[in-house]
Chains A and B, each alone.
Chain A
Amino acid sequence: MIFRVFKKEELKHLFDVLAAENRIIGPVEIGKDPKGDPLYTFNQVSDFNDIRLDYTTTKISAKRYFLPYREDLATFRIEGKEWDKDIDYNMESPYIFFGLHACDINALNRLDKVLLGSVYPMPYYAAKRKNMFIIGLDCIPQPYCFCRSMGADTALHGFDMFLTDMGEQYFAEILSDTAFNFLKNIRTEEPVEADHIHYMKIIAEKNRKFTARVDTTDLTKILDMEFQSDVWRQWGKKCLACGTCAQVCPTCYCYGVEENVNIDLRGAKKTKMLYSCNLIDFAEVAGGHNFRLERHVRLKYRYYHKHRGFVEAYEESLCVGCGRCGEACLAEITVPAVISSVRGEEA
């Protein structure tokens, strides 16, 4: 692994040279919440000053750039009895992600396992994923962050370069040749032992700031044992089945497909829309039978998929512990609270 340090003001230069030739997505402030705290989102940016490198967590994840909420899978040209199918993976030019936190990078790594690493890899996702240049950025743990419990507080791969704020300068971890070459545009230095010590101090400080946690010990087994537990019904009573959690989640990838005929009757569209397993008709089949009619059953399914099924298949949870679902939930249902109640721990 190659490390570099550079002065903070150099980052603007790096942004400017990259922005001149590429599309850049970064965290920006788009308003304030009722408490007066800033609201952040990922948007396309062209001015370095618009990027908020001190952002906490964006309300919604960056997934609209690699798993759009609505995406055409195919279009059809229809002429009489004949039709032709045209497939477009909806990606024209690469994106640079400027300042993704470790949880969001890990979210991509976990999505890769199911969307690229399994049978039937998804070309729509692949086209976007292969055209991403990612600059990671360290963060300050918020009260709702439990990424450390989910093994997502450190990004080991899946980025090109990762920056850690060290006060006067940035400590850069370089993973790709492209990133190495990009850095030739600015003044960087080889880190010295003092920088290493400084870096380790910062990481240790960060670790002390985590307050939320989830006990994942034997969780797959416990979820199986407690499948009939009454706690699910309790949470089901609170849940509004609105699907907000899936919308803000960086790893929720479930979807539905819909086809529509164009108004001129000479074409049609096949459209994929992200869905949520909490919505009532998620598992309803033709003829009206619904395999998950009750709200608590759907809420439970969501936890089973994230914390049991995915672990069984890929040896890690699909949840990265970003805490977005709990923050966005109108019924104030949070992952740490649900898991601890299933484990029979007192709230």
Chain B
Amino acid sequence: MDTKLEFVDIFGGKEKKYHRRQDLSAFEFTYKAEITNIHKLTQSENLYRVQILDHEERKKFSFEPGQFIMLELPGIGEAPFSISSSPSRHGDIELCIRKAGNLTNFLSRVERGTRVGLRGPFGTGFPMEKMQGQNILLIAGGLGLAPLRAPIAYVQENRSRFNTVDIIYGTKDPSQLLFTYQYDLWRADDITLSIIVETPDAKWKGPVGLLTKVLEEMFKKRDDKFFKNTYAIVCGPPVMFKFVCTMLNQKDIPMQKMFVSLERRMHCGMGKCCRCNVGSTYTCLKGPVFDYWTVMNLKEAI
């Protein structure tokens, strides 16, 4: 009797043609991409334009606003970043990245033309199709504008499908404002943009205070019917979205019509490493975009 166990090739000797999320080959599959441009936004944030090199792969790459990718620099590391560009641009994406850790500090020093790896897209997105025909409130605190830029671009490209669109954006001080060059373009597309800073500088002429101040003023101006037909997308630090969502809920926007994007540590993006677990929910699979009802039911989310 033969007693030697046969070696099992998990791919059955076949070429790995597809990398769908149920395929074993998807796990470590990396798109080769190039940083085609680096736009300095503030002292600590850059906007990186990253293009998947292979033309076919670039065309096929599709994502929903709110989803994230894992960006890898061989030998330096890999980290999750929200995609900040329009889905219609496919695999020619933009990432707004703050110098905060090992990888991002290294990234702040690289030049145009650097080859990087991309995996993804991962996670959930904002349900833009469901929001059609409704008013949209986009509320961002600080770097929270980065993940909001994808739904903003989507709204701009499909402007006729949405009613009133408001962006409310707050930062610590005017030097930290992101995407300043786009504000006029947003306004030109009939998007109301309100900006507020906590600490003004000499040149600042706009409102001063917290985001909630802008919201309070808006509450006075808009009637109940407006809020009845409104979806909200809120991104920023947990304290901020907790206050904002509580306020919005007082205006009877259901918690299931408010969406937030959570930030967590991630080492895989695929529901394996457990680093992003909130309570016991994988932020990378069930999030990063959650409706507020789900967030309220997650232990230790906020």
**Interchain CB contact under 8 A, B1 and A283:** no
B214, CB-defined interface residue at 8 Å: no
Distance in angstroms from B272 CB to nearest chain A CB is 6
**Interchain CB contact under 8 A, B6 and A285:** no
**Interchain CB contact under 8 A, A282 and B3:** no
Q: Which of B78-127 contact A (CB under 8 A)?
A: 78-79, 98, 100-104, 113-115, 117
CA distance A267 to B268 in the complex (A): 21
With A73-B28, A185-B3, A256-B275 as known contacts, state yes or no: A304 contacts B101, CB within 8 Å: no
**Interchain CB contact under 8 A, A20 and B3:** yes
A69, CB-defined interface residue at 8 Å: no
B133, CB-defined interface residue at 8 Å: no
With A22-B4, A87-B28 as known contacts, state yes or no: A301 contacts B277, CB within 8 Å: yes
**Interchain CB contact under 8 A, A120 and B21:** yes
Interface of A is mostly: mixed
Distance in angstroms from B123 CB to nearest chain A CB is 11
B274, CB-defined interface residue at 8 Å: yes
Distance in angstroms from A270 CB to nearest chain B CB is 7
**Interchain CB contact under 8 A, A96 and B5:** yes
A229, CB-defined interface residue at 8 Å: no
**Interchain CB contact under 8 A, A297 and B26:** no
- Interface 0/1 of A66-110, CB less than 8 Å to B: 000000011010100111010101001110100000000000000
**Interfacial chain A residues near B25, Cβ < 8 Å:** 123
A17, CB-defined interface residue at 8 Å: yes
- Interface 0/1 of B14-46, CB less than 8 Å to A: 000000011111111010000000000000000
Distance in angstroms from B22 CB to nearest chain A CB is 6
**Interfacial chain B residues near A17, Cβ < 8 Å:** 3
Across the interface, B10 reaches (CB within 8 A) one of A127, A286, A310, namely: A127
**Interchain CB contact under 8 A, A81 and B78:** no
Distance in angstroms from B47 CB to nearest chain A CB is 17
Q: Which of A1-54 contact B (CB under 8 A)?
A: 17-18, 20-22
B228, CB-defined interface residue at 8 Å: no
A257, CB-defined interface residue at 8 Å: yes
Q: Which of the listed residues A73, A277, A284, A291 has the most CB atoms from chain B within 10 Å of its own CB?
A: A291
Distance in angstroms from B145 CB to nearest chain A CB is 16
**Interchain CB contact under 8 A, B28 and A119:** no
**Interchain CB contact under 8 A, A304 and B280:** yes
**Interfacial chain A residues near B274, Cβ < 8 Å:** 253-255, 277, 305
Distance in angstroms from A93 CB to nearest chain B CB is 6
- Interface 0/1 of B228-254, CB less than 8 Å to A: 000000000000000000000000000
**Interfacial chain A residues near B4, Cβ < 8 Å:** 21-22
**Interfacial chain A residues near B74, Cβ < 8 Å:** 76, 78, 83, 85, 259, 268, 270
A309, CB-defined interface residue at 8 Å: yes
Q: What 16 additional pairs, Cβ within 8 angstroms, besides A82-B115, A270-B72?
A: A85-B117, A92-B7, A114-B272, A120-B268, A120-B272, A130-B10, A131-B7, A253-B274, A255-B274, A257-B268, A270-B78, A282-B265, A284-B265, A285-B264, A305-B280, A308-B279
- A residues near B (Cβ < 8 Å) are 17-18, 20-22, 73-74, 76, 78, 81-83, 85, 87, 89, 92-94, 96, 114-115, 118-124, 126-127, 130-131, 133, 178, 181-182, 184-185, 224, 227, 253-262, 267-270, 275, 277, 282-287, 291-292, 297, 301, 304-305, 308-310, 312-313
* Contact sample, A vs B, 13 pairs, CB 8 Å cutoff: A22-B5, A85-B28, A115-B272, A123-B27, A185-B1, A185-B3, A253-B274, A257-B268, A262-B75, A283-B265, A286-B103, A305-B274, A305-B280
Closest 9 CB pairs of A and B: A309-B280, A268-B75, A286-B101, A120-B270, A261-B75, A254-B274, A21-B4, A286-B100, A76-B74
